[in-house]
Amino acid sequence: MHILLVRFSSMGDVVLQTATVNWLKSLLGSDLRLTFLTSSEFVELLEGHQEIHRVIGFHRRKGEKWENLVQRLKDLHKNDPIDLILDLHGTLRSLRLKVSLWTIPALTVDKRRWERFLLTKVRNKFLKKFFEHPFFGLSPQVERIIEDFENIFSDSFGKKRTQSFREGPHDELTSLAPFLTTEISRPYVVLAPSASFVPKRWPVVSFVELSKKLLHETNYDVVVLAGKEDTFCEAFNEVSSDRLHQLQGKTTLKESMAFLSKAKLCIGNDSGMNHIAEAYGVPSLTLFGPTDPRFGFRPHGTKSRILEKELSCRPCSTTGKKPCHRERHFCMEEMTVEEVFKNVKEMLDQI
């Protein structure tokens, strides 16, 4: 059975969908042939994955026309017929794709948009609880996606999933670790100060102070990972220590993945880096600001933790994109370096 999985972005969501891949594999075994369609900047995340036979990148940022992508998929369908499209994105873009490939049966993820929207609008504590259950619960979003699809698939194949999303590292991602080109001989923790949207970021000055505390009060090295565009990480230049490895803009995505795979701990915002760390079985400390773990993107590892402030304005948007409407960025600024460090220390002591 040839299935086309569609998830264009973002980085963390694409990583999380490897759980769906594992589930499909456990369900269909050697009958499964998977093609994964994603944005070209995330192709690296999936290349080499044992269960994904083909990764197709949409080069939108490089100017690829939509019609060109559709034609590529039609050509693929002609040469290697697609039996089913699993739309894991559920956006207008993926809808447009399904319309263009209308002859192929498709299933679409239910992202619980309405419930998520309500959670950002309802400010009353009691009512919030009402909206959390039964719509949300606390299960990760991918668990919910799998549960939804499972009901449909189990009718067709009579099989249930045996593996839980929460169990252990994603082995097939671990196999990507050899891409590391620079070795750090001492044990280290990763700081991931970036996030797709600015309101989701803990202030970089706090990350810098945290790095100083880690260097002074623990024996761990500190590795800073962020993209080329995250020039705000230059703030780390004030830290003079050969145990701080400031790699912002210096690693490919695959190298970042390799560094994360060998870290003792990853500390970051509600962002893709923490999801990648978890996929390797590395505990993460995730700092939540305008978004909410109840949206389903909380860390799932048993050794991972989250930190968040209880504020009436939280969550204020479903993705963290919306600019802060308060006089100060309370959700992140009120998270002190001391409390983050205390959690880091406790987590490191348990390793």
Instruction: Using CB under 6 A, list all residues that contact ligand SF4.
Output: 199, 289-290, 311, 313-314, 316, 324-326, 329-331
Tokens 């990764």 belong to which residue?
A: 55
Nearer to ligand SF4, 232 or 330 (CB): 330
Considering the complex, what minimum distance in angstroms separates the CB of residue 269 from ligand SF4?
Answer: 12
Token output for 150: 């499972």
What is the smallest separation between the CB atom of 116 and ligand SF4, expressed in angstroms? 14
Task: Give 135 or 330: the residue with its C-beta nearer to ligand SF4.
Answer: 330
Helix (H) or strand (E) holding 153: helix 141-157
Q: Cβ atoms within 10 A of the Cβ of 328, count? A: 9
Cα distance between residue 17 and residue 22, in whole Å: 9
Q: In the bound complex, what is the minimum distance in angstroms from residue 191's beta carbon to ligand SF4?
A: 21
Structure tokens at 105: 């049966």
57 φ/ψ angles, rounded to the nearest 5 degrees: -105, 135
In the chain, % helix, strand, coil (3-state, to 5) comes to 45, 15, 40
- In one-letter notation, the amino acid at residue 351 is I
Q: How far is the CB of 207 from ligand SF4 (least distance, A)?
A: 17
In the block, residue with structure tokens 């940022």 = 61
Q: How far is CA 46 from CA 4, 139, 170, 182, 339, in A?
A: 14, 24, 12, 21, 35
Least separation, in Å, of the C-beta of 316 and ligand SF4?
A: 3
C-beta of 316 vs 337, nearer to ligand SF4: 316
Q: Which is nearer to ligand SF4, 275 or 314 (CB)?
A: 314
Q: What is the 3-state secondary structure (H, E, C) of 283-323?
A: CEEEECCCCCHHHCCCCCCCCCEEECCCCCCCCCCCCCCCC
**Shortest distance in whole angstroms from residue 286 CB to ligand SF4:** 15
| Strand-pair partners of 4 | 35, 85
**Of 23 and 131, which has the nearer Cβ to ligand SF4?**
131
Helix or strand (DSSP H, E) at 120: helix 113-121
Q: Which is nearer to ligand SF4, 277 or 332 (CB)?
A: 332
Nearer to ligand SF4, 199 or 296 (CB): 199
Closest distance between ligand SF4 and the C-beta of residue 309, in Å? 8
